Copies of this chain bind each other. A is one copy, B any other.
């Protein structure tokens, strides 16, 4: 076993699918709203602008996203959108929240292998407290995790606090996730290990540049072997 004692795993698009549902709802939003605007209006862009402008206020998660869709639907159509379409947007948000958790391929076997090998496992995730807790319950993975840290932002200060509260030094902690900006770079900055497992869709907001030296795995099932060699 390696010098790494605790493995932190991101949740959305690392343990289970998430962005794919946002993209699907966003396509439906564009379809519903486009009937009320001229062809030159970029409805998706208008939504993204409202979404980003509300991020400091709403934080991450589906509820804030749905509120931003409602706001954008009204503003981009100058109030012409119908309440029938607005109801459908609200319903799309509820459907996302109620959606069964859809684990990524290989996740169940990998976290079981890691837990059996004696690694302490924690989930470290942004997003909405209530919904992230609900997803973890639904995932069936709860018993393999020591704890869940739902944090408002994934920055170096947050990782310092989380690692310290786990009672380990940063060199004994490894974070695994699909976002360079949130899961990898801030952890390396505080002296921890980090592994990038890209997802096929990445919200532009989570993108970041790096110099190519970040450990990257094509698939989470390669993680146990990588950790044992670290």
Residues of A within 8 A of B (CB): 54, 57-61, 63-64, 66-67, 70-71, 74-75, 77, 79-84, 86-87, 90, 93-94, 97-98, 128-131, 133-134, 150, 152
Question: Could you tell me the distance between the alpha carbons of A73 and B84 in the complex, rounded to whole angstroms?
Answer: 12
User: What chain B residues lie within 8 Å of A71 (beta carbons)?
Assistant: 87, 90
Number of chain copies forming the complex: 2
Question: Could you tell me the distance between the alpha carbons of A20 and B97 in the complex, rounded to whole angstroms?
Answer: 28
Question: Could you tell me the distance between the alpha carbons of A131 and B57 in the complex, rounded to whole angstroms?
Answer: 8
A130 touches B58 (CB 8 A): yes
User: What chain B residues lie within 8 Å of A61 (beta carbons)?
Assistant: 130
User: What chain B residues lie within 8 Å of A133 (beta carbons)?
Assistant: 152
Chain B residue nearest to A87 (CB atoms) is B74
Nearest-neighbour CB distance to chain B for A66, whole angstroms, equals 6
What are 13 A-B contacts defined by CB distance under 8 Å? A57-B98, A58-B97, A58-B130, A59-B129, A61-B130, A74-B83, A74-B86, A74-B87, A74-B90, A75-B87, A77-B83, A129-B129, A129-B150
User: What chain B residues lie within 8 Å of A152 (beta carbons)?
Assistant: 129-130, 133-134
Question: Could you tell me the distance between the alpha carbons of A74 and B83 in the complex, rounded to whole angstroms?
Answer: 7
